[in-house]
C-alpha cells in the first residue's frame, strides 16, 4: 500500500513544487491511459497523478488494460477517453506506433497529449515525463559488469519489444556492454511480456540453455521477479540478478541476497509531472519537451538512504 509519507517523500525527492495559486476556474477533465495496473509501479504513478490533481484542482481518471500485452484494449481505452473531449490527456504507450493515428487526431482537435513513462515514435506529444531509460539501463550494465568481474555471459529478460521503455532498456544494457566490456557476452534477449509467470519460464529456458551464465538483467518489475523465481525454481546459485523498478518482492529479494540490486525510477514523480504538464499545456503555456524524472541504483547497502527510500514503493 502506498502511504502518504511515501507520496510526499517521493515528490520531495523529485523537487516537485506546485504554484501558490492552483485553482482552475472550470472543472477540467484529464484522463490518463496507462500501460497496465498489474504492477505496483503503476499504482505509484497513479498516486502521484492523484496528488497533482488535488494540487491543481482538476479531475483525472487513471486506467489501463489488465496486462501489458493488450495493445488493442489500450487503444480502445484511448479512443473512449478522447471521445469525452478532455482538456488534455496523458498516455503511456504499450506500442510506440499503434496509437499514432488517434493521437494525431486528438492533436488536430486541440487536445494536448502528454506522454508518460513510455513515449511514442512521433513528435505529437507536447511533452514526455519519463526516466532516461537508456542511461538507467546503461547503469544496470555497469553494475552487472562490476559484480561479475568484467567477464562472462549474461542475458536479458525484457518486458516487450514494442514500447519505448522496453526498447530503450534492452538497448541501453546491450549497447553499454558492447561499448565498454569486450569480455562480457550478452548471449540472448528474451521477452516475458512483463508477466512474472511468463518471465519465470523464460528464465528457466535461458538457464537450461546456458548453464555457465553469470548474470541476468530483468527490465521491469514483472521481468525481474520472474528471473528471481526462475533461479529459485531451478536451484541455480551464484547468478547475479539486476532488476528494474521496486515493489515488495524485489526489495525482499535484494535484502535476502537473491538479487544484487535494481534500478528504481520515480513513479510518483512521473504521475505528478504528467498532470502538471497537462494543466500547463491546456492553458497554452510552454512545457518541456522532455521531463526527466530521474533514477537511482539501489541495493542492500543504500536502501535506507532517504533519497533512495523516498522513491521505493511496496
Residue 233, number of CB atoms within 10 A of its CB: 13
Q: Which fold is adopted by the domain 4-131+265-294?
A: Rossmann fold (3.40.50)
Q: pLDDT digits over 206-245, tens only? A: 999 999 999 999 999 999 999 999 999 999 999 999 999 9
Domain ranges of the chain: 4-131+265-294, 133-264
**Vertex 217 angle, CA 211 and 221, to 5°:** 125
Q: Do domains 4-131+265-294 and 133-264 have the same CATH topology?
A: yes
Distances (CA, A) of 145 to 149, 193, 302: 6, 25, 19
Strands 59-63 and 184-191, sheet pairing? unpaired
* DSSP, residue by residue, 96-111: TTTTHHHHHHHHHTT-
- State the average pLDDT for the chain: 92
Report the percent of the chain where pLDDT is more than 90. 88
Give the model's confidence band at 37: pLDDT under 50 very low, under 70 low, under 90 confident, else very high.
confident
Which DSSP letter does residue 299 get?
-
State residue 2's pLDDT score. Answer: 57
Q: pLDDT digits over 245-289, tens only? A: 999 999 999 999 999 999 999 999 999 999 999 999 999 999 999
In the sheet where 89-91 sits, what is the strand order?
59-63, 29-33, 89-91, 113-116, 127-130, 290-292
Could you tell me if residue 284 is left (phi over 0), alpha (psi between -120 and 50 degrees) or otherwise beta?
left
E strand map for 64-171 = 89-91, 113-116, 127-130, 152-158
Q: Is the pLDDT of residue 21 over 50?
A: no
State residue 8's pLDDT score. Answer: 46
Instruction: Give the least confident one: 174-178, 191-195, 310-314.
Output: 310-314
Give yes or no for a contact between 263 and 297, defined as CB atoms under 8 angstroms apart. yes
State residue 16's pLDDT score. Answer: 47
Q: Which helix (H) or strand (E) holds 244?
A: strand 240-244
Report the percent of the chain where pLDDT is more than 70. 92
State residue 55's pLDDT score. Answer: 98
Give the model's confidence band at 9: pLDDT under 50 very low, under 70 low, under 90 confident, else very high.
low
State residue 27's pLDDT score. Answer: 84
Give yes or no for a contact between 33 and 74, defined as CB atoms under 8 angstroms apart. yes
Mean pLDDT calculated for residue range 96-100:
95
Domain at 133-264, CATH from 3.40.50.2300, 3.40.50.2000, 1.10.10.10, 3.30.70.100 = 3.40.50.2300
State residue 209's pLDDT score. Answer: 98
pTM score above 0.75: yes
| 127-143 burial code (b ≥16 CB/10 A, e <16) | bbbbbbbbebbbbbbbb
Q: Max alpha carbon distance in the chain (Å)?
A: 63
In the sheet where 296-298 sits, what is the strand order?
184-191, 152-158, 215-218, 240-244, 261-264, 296-298
Q: pLDDT digits over 47-91, tens only? A: 999 999 999 999 999 999 998 899 999 999 999 999 999 999 999
Amino acid at each position: 500500500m502506498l502511504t502518504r509519507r511515501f507520496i510526499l517523500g517521493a515528490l520531495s525527492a523529485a523537487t516537485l513544487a506546485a504554484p501558490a495559486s492552483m485553482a482552475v476556474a472550470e472543472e477540467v477533465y484529464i484522463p490518463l491511459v496507462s500501460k497496465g495496473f498489474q504492477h505496483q509501479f503503476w499504482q505509484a504513478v497513479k498516486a502521484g497523478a492523484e496528488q497533482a490533481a488535488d494540487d491543481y484542482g482538476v479531475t483525472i481518471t487513471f486506467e489501463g488494460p489488465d496486462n501489458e500485452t493488450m495493445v488493442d484494449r489500450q487503444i480502445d481505452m484511448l479512443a473512449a477517453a478522447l471521445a469525452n473531449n478532455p482538456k488534455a490527456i496523458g498516455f503511456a504507450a504499450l506500442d510506440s506506433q499503434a496509437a499514432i493515428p488517434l493521437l494525431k487526431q486528438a492533436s488536430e482537435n486541440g487536445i494536448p497529449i502528454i506522454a508518460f513513462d513510455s513515449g511514442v515514435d512521433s513528435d505529437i506529444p507536447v511533452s514526455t515525463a519519463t526516466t532516461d531509460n537508456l542511461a538507467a539501463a546503461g547503469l544496470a550494465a555497469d553494475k552487472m559488469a562490476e559484480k561479475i568481474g568484467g567477464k562472462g555471459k549474461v542475458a536479458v529478460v525484457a518486458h516487450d519489444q514494442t514500447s519505448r521503455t522496453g526498447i530503450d532498456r534492452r538497448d541501453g544494457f546491450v549497447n553499454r556492454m558492447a561499448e565498454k566490456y569486450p569480455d562480457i557476452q550478452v548471449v540472448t534477449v528474451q521477452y516475458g511480456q512483463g508477466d512474472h509467470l511468463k518471465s519465470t519460464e523464460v528464465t528457466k529456458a535461458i538457464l537450461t540453455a546456458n548453464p555457465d551464465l553469470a548474470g541476468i538483467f530483468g527490465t521491469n518489475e514483472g521481468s525481474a521477479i520472474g528471473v528471481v523465481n526462475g533461479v529459485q525454481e531451478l536451484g541455480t546459485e551464484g547468478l547475479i540478478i539486476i532488476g528494474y523498478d521496486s515493489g515488495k518482492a524485489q526489495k525482499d529479494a535484494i535484502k535476502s541476497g537473491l538479487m544484487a540490486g535494481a534500478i528504481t525510477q520515480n513513479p510518483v514523480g512521473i504521475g505528478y509531472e504528467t498532470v502538471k504538464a497537462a494543466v500547463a499545456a491546456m492553458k497554452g503555456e510552454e512545457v518541456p519537451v522532455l521531463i526527466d524524472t530521474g533514477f537511482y541504483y539501489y541495493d542492500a547497502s543504500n536502501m535506507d538512504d532517504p533519497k533512495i527510500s523516498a522513491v521505493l514503493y511496496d
